[in-house]
């Protein structure tokens, strides 16, 4: 908009108010609001380090692909159970060896507007690129059953597509396992499926980009008397992000697939003129929805043919943030942030009597994060009429150092904001 004298005075007020929040504006962890008629455009660009580890149900670090590194026995492929008595134990096709590495590049765009001196409206739009690099092999040296080379011929004494290795069975290849996961396995190459598949797409490297779940909320500042400042924020997170394809084991979510109601409580405390503390409590109420999902026997055995549209009520999310921010000079600042979040267990039900509890297992999660930020702004220079553009920029390093049922991740982010 065009800056008229009265609006210029407003910008001056904003400068005075914003000097101590530049490290927290991108994630909206402050009780401050914009004055009436003033807008803020804020963009953050996240570059994650390669993600190869996760925190399991007990909080222990494990490979990201831990659930896919399995003995391919009758627990994974129930059709093998009929061969157990022939091998004197569990029939197995070998050991799957899978490595996964995630690449993630996310951007977040925020547009805020001061509707009144106490009420600010905010819209947040995330956009990302993800890549799940998959390396998979079959270690078949320990296999005790394999392809029957005589299957479908008059001389076949077994009349079974799979037979013990000791009876002449031929170990399956990587491609055979891909076919078994997909459309099915044609063991004698006659064009007829001998073992039905599971309907999955090829298990290989996956990449995609797209919009995430958009947020729209309002923040109301109801108290502002030094040294305290208090505000409430509430709004909605919409299911605009794509959810992963249930037929693609390597696919990744861009959103949760349902609507959230957001509640945030912000508390600022000014310790000194240059030092400020912030404490923010967040509660995301996830509304029930229906989704078509695969329903495995257990969370540790993700391969299944069971598909049903189920009723979901994703677990709510409780988050806490504690930030200390210090203004070294009018232009330079630094902050230290600790964050904790807990997602409660999902509730899933359906009409077909499937083991829906498998979708609830490992759905409860926790994570702890620490972030260090250094920031630069021209807001004081703008107030002193030394520059025409009031903006700020922040560089952040963030590490998720503990958790349960979540990935172990680190990123560097660049945050830029402009007032107008």
Q: For 6-50, write each residue's pLDDT tens digit.
A: 444 444 444 444 444 444 444 478 899 999 999 999 999 999 999
Q: Do residues 74 and 87 touch, judged by C-beta distance below 8 A?
A: no
Sign of the torsion formed by the C-alpha atoms of 374, 379, 384 and 388: positive
Phi, psi values for residue 6, rounded to 5°: -65, -40
| Average pLDDT of the chain to the nearest whole number | 88
How far, CA to CA in Å, does 239 sit from each of 42, 212, 213, 236, 342? 22, 8, 5, 10, 20
Note whether residue 382 is domain-resident: no
Measured distance CA(337)–CA(281) in Å, rounded: 14
Using CA atoms, how far apart are residues 8 and 2, in angstroms rounded to an integer? 10
| Residue range 141-153, pLDDT digits in tens | 889 998 888 888 8
pLDDT at 16: 40
In 3D space, the residue among 89, 222, 107 whose CA is nearest the CA of residue 164 turns out to be 89
* DSSP tag of 405: S
DSSP string, 71-86: EEETTTSGGGGGGHHH
- Split into its structural domains, the chain has a count of 1
**Dihedral pair phi/psi, residue 5, rounded to 5°:** -50, -45
Q: Which residues in 328-390 belong to E strands, given as ranges?
A: 332-343, 347-349, 365-377
Question: Which candidate, 205, 207, 179, 208, places its Cα nearest to that of 192?
Answer: 179
Contact 405, 57 (CB under 8 A): yes
Q: Are 152 and 186 in contact (CB under 8 A)?
A: no
**Are the CB atoms for 19 and 377 separated by under 8 Å?**
yes
C-alpha span between 253 and 217 (Å, rounded): 23
Cα–Cα dist 131/270, whole Å = 42
The number of beta carbons lying within 10 Å of the beta carbon of residue 1 is: 8
> Is 108 within a domain?
yes
What's the alpha-carbon Rg for the chain, to the nearest Å?
A: 27
Give the pLDDT band (50/70/90) at residue 384.
Answer: low
Task: Burial-class residue 175 by CB neighbours within 10 Å (0-12, 13-18, 19+).
Answer: exposed
Q: Do 187 and 148 touch, CB atoms closer than 8 A? A: yes
The kind and range of the H/E element at 315 are: none
Burial category of 377 from C-beta neighbours within 10 Å (exposed 0-12, middle 13-18, buried 19 and up): buried
Distance CA 200, CA 420 (A): 50
Residue 392 resides in a domain: no
Instruction: Give residue 107's pLDDT band: very low, low, confident or very high (50, 70, 90).
Output: very high
Which tens digit of pLDDT belongs to each residue from 236-295? Answer: 999 999 999 999 999 999 999 999 999 999 999 999 989 999 999 999 999 999 999 999
**378 part of a folded domain:** no
Structural domain contains residue 154: yes
For residue 380, is it within any domain? Answer: no
When pLDDT is cut at 50, 70 and 90, the band that residue 182 belongs to is: very high
Structure tokens at 239: 């299911």
* Residue carrying structure tokens 């011929």: 153
Q: Which domain holds residue 98?
A: 5-373+405-419
Whether residue 351 is contained in a domain is answered as yes
- Whether the per-residue pLDDT at 74 is higher than 90: the answer is no
Task: Find out whether 234 and 260 touch, Cβ atoms under 8 Å.
Answer: no
Domain membership flag for residue 397: no
pLDDT on residue 130: 95
């Amino acid at each position: 908009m065009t800056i008229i004298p009265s609006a210029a005075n407003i910008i001056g007020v904003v400068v005075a108010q914003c000097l101590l929040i530049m490290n927290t504006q991108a994630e909206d962890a402050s009780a401050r609001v914009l004055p009436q008629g003033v807008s803020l455009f804020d963009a953050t660009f996240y570059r994650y380090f390669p993600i190869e580890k996760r925190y399991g149900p007990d909080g222990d670090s494990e490979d990201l692909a831990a659930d896919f590194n399995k003995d391919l026995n009758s627990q994974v492929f129930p059709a093998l159970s009929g061969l157990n008595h022939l091998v004197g134990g569990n029939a197995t096709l070998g050991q799957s060896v899978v490595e996964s590495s995630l690449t993630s590049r996310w951007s977040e765009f925020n547009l805020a507007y001061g509707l009144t001196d106490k009420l600010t409206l905010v819209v947040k739009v995330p956009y990302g690129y993800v890549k799940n690099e998959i390396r998979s092999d079959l270690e078949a040296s320990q296999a005790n059953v394999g392809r029957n080379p005589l299957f479908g011929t008059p001389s076949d004494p077994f009349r079974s597509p799979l037979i013990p290795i000791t009876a002449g069975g031929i170990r399956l290849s990587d491609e055979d396992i891909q076919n078994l996961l997909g459309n099915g396995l044609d063991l004698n190459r006659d064009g007829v499926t001998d073992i039905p598949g599971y309907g999955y797409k090829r298990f290989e490297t996956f990449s995609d980009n797209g919009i995430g779940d958009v947020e729209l909320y309002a923040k109301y500042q109801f108290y502002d008397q030094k040294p305290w400042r208090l505000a409430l924020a509430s709004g909605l997170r919409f299911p605009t992000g794509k959810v992963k394809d249930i037929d693609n084991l390597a696919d990744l979510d861009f959103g949760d697939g349902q609507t959230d109601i957001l509640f945030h409580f912000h508390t600022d405390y000014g310790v000194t003129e240059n030092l400020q503390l912030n404490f923010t409590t967040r509660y995301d109420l996830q509304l029930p929805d229906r989704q078509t999902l695969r329903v495995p026997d257990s969370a540790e055995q993700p391969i299944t043919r069971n598909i049903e549209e189920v009723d979901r009520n994703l677990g709510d999310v409780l988050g806490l943030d504690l930030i200390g921010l210090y203004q070294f000079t009018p232009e330079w600042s630094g902050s230290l942030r600790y964050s904790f979040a807990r997602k409660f267990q999902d509730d899933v039900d359906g009409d077909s009597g499937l083991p829906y509890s498998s979708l609830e297992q490992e759905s409860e999660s926790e994570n702890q994060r620490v972030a260090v930020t250094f920031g630069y702004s021209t807001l004081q220079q703008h107030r002193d009429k030394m520059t025409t553009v009031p903006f700020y920029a922040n560089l952040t390093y963030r590490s998720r150092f503990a958790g349960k049922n979540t990935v172990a991740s680190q990123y560097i982010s660049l945050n830029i904001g402009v007032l107008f």
